[in-house]
Structure 1
Amino acid sequence: MVEHRLDPAPDTVTDVFSADLPPVLSLAPGDSVVVRSLDASGHLERQRTPGEPAPTLIEERRGHCLAGPMEVRGAAPGMALAVRLDALRPDAWGWTVAGGRDTPVNRRLGLVGSVPTWLLWELDAERGIGTDQFGHTVRLAPFLGVIGMPPPGPGEHSTVPPRVFGGGNIDCRELVAGSTLFLPVTVNGALLCVGDGHAAQGDGEASGTAIECGMTTRLTLDLVPEPALPTAYAVTPAGRVTFGFSPDLNEATGQALEAMVTWLAALLGLTPAAALALSSAAVQLRVTQVANQTWGVHALLPEGAISPRASRC
Structure 2
Amino acid sequence: MPDLIDVLSQDTALQIRPDHPAPPPAPFLEALLAGLSRPDKAIPCRFLYDAAGSKLFDAICELPEYYPTRTEMALLRAHAPQMARRIGANARFIELGAGSGGKAEFLLDALMAQGLPPAGYVCLDISPVPLAATAEAIEQRYPHLAVTAVCGNYLGDVDLPPSTARDVCFFPGSTIGNFERHEARAFLAQWRQRLSHFDERGAMMLIGVDLKKDVPTLERAYDDAQGVTAQFSLNVLTRANRELGADFNIDQFRHRARFVHDPGHIEISLVSQSDQTVTVDGQRFHFAAGEALHIENSHKYSLSEFAALAADAGFSVDTVWTDPRRWFSLNLLRAER
TM over 0.5: no
Structure having the higher Rg: 2
Which structure has more strand as a fraction of its residues? 1
Structure with greater proportional helix content? 2
The TM-score, its normalising length taken from structure 2, stands at: 0.24
TM-score, normalisation: structure 1: 0.26
